[in-house]
Amino acid sequence: MEINIGDERIMVLHARYSADQIREKAMAKRIEAFGMIAKLIQRVQPDDIKITTFQKRFEPFWFVVASSHYVYDRRHKYHVEVAPKVHAVTVHGNKYLVMGDINNSFELEAVNHCTEEFKRELIVDAMNGNEVDLKKYLNFPKSEVPDIAALNNEGTIVVPPEILSSFVVRKMVLQLIKTIQADAIHEENIFISEVTLFYRPVYAIEYLWKDKNKKKVVEFDALTGEAKFEDGAIKKQVTKALENNIFFDLGADAAGTLIPGANLVVKLGRMAAKKAIH
């Protein structure tokens, strides 16, 4: 089997909501952040709650597009029905006796020449490896960046992925490998056309209800404007190195571990090929 891996790249999604717009939304959510009890029973006032932290960060997810192509031959016996009065049929000089069954058919041995193709898209949470439904983000304006570190500016936190490219490529390959019942296999190819690490912009706001000494965190999606209430403290600056080679780890060595024990020929894409060279 041959596996071709296309170019790997990093894309950043452009925020639709500015910091000022998110701050305005955050001000409107001050009481809601602490729940209905605070609003209806404790009668908290908006001015009692302050924004103590306003944080922008980029959160990662993987997007992979791939297809597979199989060409093979498979022997098959066809049962061909004929008229009741027919007792034998000659095909290309070969005589076949009608079996006299209920369908009055004869058996014809043949070889089927088959082609099968499959296509698959995969979106994976880059923090835990789970498949997630983030397809809505793919249509937002975006641009390619040369490396992850380029996003780390003006106090923006860039969350490094815990899941590496080799994991998502292996996950995709396993979904596209098919067990083919065939007498002869002529082609088995998997083409991974896209391995993209996407970064989406998120704003996190930490509120303090000073009289009760309570804190709450609300995250705002800078693409959709949706708010998500979170328990616990706001995420801190990540000190992990932001180097492409760490996260795009599918070099020559890692390629051989995609499917242990399988007879694979792996052709690497841009970032992976650079890693293999160095």
Residue 240, number of CB atoms within 10 A of its CB:
11
CA 25 to CA 67: how far, in whole Å? Answer: 42
pLDDT at position 216 is 84
What are the backbone angles phi and psi of residue 192, rounded to the nearest 5°? -95, 100
Residue 195: inside a domain, yes or no? yes
pLDDT at position 278 is 42
Q: Model pTM greater than 0.85?
A: no
Task: Give yes or no for a contact between 126 and 100, defined as CB atoms under 8 angstroms apart.
Answer: no
What are the backbone angles phi and psi of residue 50, rounded to the nearest 5°? -115, 150
CA 61 to CA 81: how far, in whole Å? Answer: 56
CA 123 to CA 9: how far, in whole Å? Answer: 15
Helix (H/G/I), strand (E/B), else coil: 80: strand
Residue 133: inside a domain, yes or no? yes
pLDDT at position 213 is 80
CA 100 to CA 86: how far, in whole Å? Answer: 10
pLDDT in tens, 77-94: 999 999 999 999 999 999
pLDDT at position 239 is 52
Residue 104: inside a domain, yes or no? no
Please report the beta strands in 210-245, taking only residues with DSSP state E, as ranges in sequence order.
214-221, 227-230
pLDDT at position 272 is 47
* Token digits of residue 260: 């242990």
Residue 255: inside a domain, yes or no? yes
Length, in residues, of the chain = 278
Residue 84: inside a domain, yes or no? no
Give residue 185's domain range: 2-74+114-277
Tokens 């909501």 — which residue? 17
Residue 150: inside a domain, yes or no? yes
Helix (H/G/I), strand (E/B), else coil: 70: strand
Using 50 as the pLDDT threshold, list the residues of the chain that sit under it.
40-41, 272-278
Q: Is the dihedral of CA 32, 34, 38, 40 positive or negative?
A: positive
Domains contained in the chain, number: 1
Residue 60: inside a domain, yes or no? yes
Residue 105: inside a domain, yes or no? no
